[in-house]
Structure 1
Amino acid sequence: MAQETGAARQPPLFSIPAFWPLQMYASLVGEEAALYSRNLKFVAEELKLHGGLAPVLATPNQVRLPLRTMTLRDYGAPGAGIPTLVNAPFAGHTAMIADYQKSQSLVGTLLANGLPHVALTDWKSATPDMKDLEIDNYLADLVVAIDDLGGRVNLVGLCQGGWTSAMVAARFPDKVNSLVLAGAPIDTFAGDGPLKHMVQEAPEGFYEKLVEAGGGLMKGKLMLRGWKNMNPKQHYFQEHVDLYEHLDDPAYLAKEEVFESWYENPIDLPGRWYLQAIHQIFKENRLAKGSFVALGRQLNLHDIRCPTYLLAGASDDITTPEQVLDAAKYIGTPKDALVAETVPGGHVGLFMGARTLKDHWPAIARWIVAHAS
């Protein structure tokens, strides 16, 4: 039997009690190195999520018409029947809300359910030279888009794109074959949502100061800060904790990156447009009252007689269900051509929620097809 060497017979260095502190230190250094690496990864991901990603539309499309206020985009097969124009919100975020990702795309859902040609208003961020543009300027470009599409469309208005869509339908009834208003504040005095109270209670000078701070623009970053302040615990604490806990989950990170590429990249609004919207639409409710003047004519929602679909979110605290559904009191659409539906979920979920896109929008697409004429 071979004789053991002296070195082999000696116990490991760290088994000697006097060296236990060194072993503990070595262990801590290793743990701290791992923690340091994880923290660096966390910081890099935070920077990426909060402004380091650009919003990207999910579905292949073509630029149909570049206008000053928007890019009109074509999807599907242009020329196949009456086009369906999705009028995205002009409220501080991009049109990605209508074409979010492959599995959550309103545009994709419409295309897959019988509507061969869909177009999208991709509203641009306002530049300093656009600070004095008015609601009329945006309505005029929306009409130009409709005319470029052939002069008659199925119009789908989302959120703030809803009240501009209703304005066009009332001002030019022959240009709108059917109308869908989803999460659209038509009667801004209806319901009891927090946004309604915030707008009503804040003095006019408050909004003017915000525009002044933006050099004549309503800055998207400033609006984003306001939205986050409506739920500070979630945005300033919980979302960072959630991210840290899921740093090693690629699926979670991919989902967050898609969302934040949209949410953390707000667009600027013309100050004049913004103040008009606050004062005339939300503080005075002129559209519902029939006193709003658009493109030289006083609007009467009763002039909307096309088939109309009203879609509201049951837990929507931005545009409460009443603000959408009360449109039925004002428009002239016959009752047999009017649908009013409230679905589960909140505001953003109406347009990009997987459940709503799967369970409700396919039927809306088929409803549009059924009323194409």
Structure 2
Amino acid sequence: MPKKSSVKSSELSLLSVPAFWPMIMAKTLLDEERELYAKNFKFVDEEIKIHEALRPKLATPNQARLNLRTMVLRDYGTPGAGTPTLVNAPYAGHTATIADYREGQSLVETLLGNGIGHVALTDWKSATVDMKDLEIDNYLAELVVAIDDLGGRVNLVGLCQGGWSSAMIAARFPEKVNALVLAGSPIDTDAGNGPVKRMAHESPMSFYEELVALGGGLMQGKFMLQGWKSMHPVEHYVQDQVDLYEHIDDPAYLAKEEAFASWYENPIDLPGRWYLQVIQQLFQENRLARGEFFGLGRRLDLHSVTCPLYLLAGADDDITAPEQVLEAKNYVGTSPEHVVSKTVPGGHIGLFMGGRTLKEHWPEIARWIASQ
């Protein structure tokens, strides 16, 4: 809303002269129009910046340890300081910045600050056309390479889609995983009743195959981004713009908005073959939970997972229903006394980069990892 009209003291004397009233009113309106024009221009400029110019950036100093075809393995903290903790970032259309978002709001930073001396991160690459036929096995194999390079045994923290691949590794190579954390990770994809589950079961495979074909053999990140936004259209297509306009002169708000947009508005592409395997074998057929998934040459049985297990779910998670995470305890071989199940307030993204969750819950998880 435009500001209320104001008249300078130098103009007050003219108010007693009726002939000058229209002139003063016109000048006031012109000043307000200039302010409104400047605000509108700033808003448009910020909108362009948010949606086109910003790029995701990891917040915490790190070293590239390995540069593999599918990922860059990044080192944080002090290599050699105890059992490494490998954070397996989601490979679901966004970059690993979700695990190292910004200073004061970073999962990696939180782990390092609560008893874990060496953290590594899977920084998954956007798929290129020559990667379109890579399969789940290709990504599992390079995850094994990363673990072996870290010494052959790690604490594994799987975030979202990084959770089921972490569980696969723990089932295929139990000796490589000292402790396992699954946060917002869909393990039993038949559990709960979230929109992702409904879409996977209600949409035929031909729908997903057509999306991959449109992407030239890739599942393009821009398609997924539009799908995520369409889950909450008012929030993303109306309210976001209203909020930005109302706070366009607030530097703190803009800094926060730009940090989020640099990650959220820059999705990455996935190999088409990998994506279709995930949809069909994991989300439609639930093969991992059923013990019917074959990974790296063997049928994977989650009962082979016997390491300490921490399950973290978001009460309002509309991407991974809490049940899909928590039901994992019924499939693994870990004894009940070594399984921790926790549901915390908030949604999906907040599990990994929400300030409250990072402050109130992840320090406890970090200390739990360090104690194993």
TM (norm. structure 2) is 0.95
State the match for 1:180 in structure 2: 181
State the alpha-carbon separation in 1 of the partners of residues 313 and 241 from structure 2.
31
> 1:32 & 1:130 partners in 2: Cα distance?
53
- Pair 308,12 (structure 1): closer, same or farther in 2 beyond 3 Å: closer
Task: Look up the equivalent residue of 1:179 and give its one-letter code.
Answer: L
- Kept in 2, the 8 Å contact 1:86–1:119? The answer is yes
Tell me the distance in 2 between the aligned counterparts of 1:203 and 1:28. Answer: 58
Q: How does 1:91-170 map to 2 (within 5 A)?
A: 91-170=92-171
CA displacement at 1:197 relative to structure 2: 0.5
Task: Specify the SS of the correspondent of 1:92.
Answer: coil
Paired residues of 1:51 and 1:261 also in contact (CA < 8 A): no
Find the counterpart in structure 2 of residue 6 from structure 1: none
Given the alignment of the two structures, is residue 298 of structure 1 paired with residue 293 of structure 2, yes or no?
A: no
Counterparts of 1:264-275 in structure 2 under 5 Å?
264-275=265-276
Shift of 1:25: 2.5
Q: Aligned-pair distance for 1:194?
A: 1.4
Of 199-208 and 14-23, deviating more is: 14-23
Q: How far apart in 2 are the matches of 1:86 and 1:205?
A: 34
Deviations 1:21-68 (A, max 9, x none): 333332222221111111110011111111311111111100000011
Gaps of 5+ in 2: 1-11
Q: Is the 8 A contact 1:58 1:99 kept in 2?
A: yes
What letter matches 1:322 in structure 2? Answer: E
Aligned position for 1:8: none
Q: How far apart, CA to CA, are the structure 1 residues paired with 2:159 and 2:51?
A: 25
The amino acid that maps onto 1:116 is G
Name the CA distance, whole Å, in 1 between partners of 2:13 and 2:337. 88
For 2:210 and 2:26, how far apart are their aligned partners in 1?
57
Q: Is the counterpart of residue 351 in structure 1 residue 349 in structure 2? A: no
Aligned equivalent of 1:206 = 207
Q: CA deviation at 1:16?
A: 4.5
Q: Offset of 1:70 from its aligned partner?
A: 0.4
Q: Where does residue 197 of structure 2 map in the other structure?
A: 196
Could you list the structure 1 runs, at least 4 aligned residues long, displaced by more than 6 angstroms after superposition: 11-14
Q: Which residue is equivalent to 2:224?
A: 223
Structure 2 counterpart of 1:84? 85
Structure 2 match to 1:365: 366
Corresponding letter in the other structure for 1:350: L
Supply the AA of the counterpart residue of 2:240: E
Structure 1, unaligned runs of 5 or more: 1-10
2:310 touches 2:339 (CA, 8 Å); kept in 1?
yes
Q: Deviations over 1:184-225 (max 9, x none)?
A: 000000001111111110111111111111111111111111
Q: 1:40-55 to 2 correspondence within 5 Å?
A: 40-55=41-56
Give 1:118's aligned amino acid: V
**Could you tell me how far 1:315 is from its partner in structure 2?**
1.0
Q: CA deviation at 1:368?
A: 1.0
Distance 1:23 1:77 in 2: 68
- Cα deviation digits, residues 267-291 of structure 1 (max 9, x gap): 1101111100000000000000000
**What is the CA–CA distance in structure 2 between the aligned matches of 1:126 and 1:219, rounded to whole Å?**
9
SS in 1 for 2:180: strand
For residue 65 of structure 1, what is the aligned residue in structure 2? Answer: 66
Deviates more, 1:335-344 or 1:166-175: 335-344
Q: Does 1:336 align with 2:328?
A: no
| 8 Å CA contact 2:14, 2:21 repeated in 1 | no
3-state secondary structure, aligned to 2:53: coil
Aligned to 1:7: none
Q: Distance in 2 between matches of 1:29 and 1:132?
A: 61
User: Once the two structures are superposed, what CA deviation does each residue of 1:300-323 show, in whole Å capped at 9, x if it has no partner?
Assistant: 000001111111111111101100
| Number of residue equivalences | 361
Deviation at 1:20, TM superposition (A): 3.4
* 1:367 positional shift: 1.0
Give the letter for the 1:27 counterpart.
Answer: T
DSSP-derived class of the 1:155 partner:
strand
Q: 2:44 & 2:91 partners in 1: Cα distance?
A: 32
What is the alpha-carbon distance in structure 1 between the residues aligned to residue 110 and residue 24 of structure 2? 60
* Structure 2 Cα separation of the partners of residues 13 and 317 of structure 1: 62
Partners of 1:181 and 1:51 lie apart in 2 by 33
Aligned to 1:4: none
Q: What TM-score comes out, normalization by structure 1 length? A: 0.94
Matches of 1:359 and 1:33 in 2, distance apart? 46
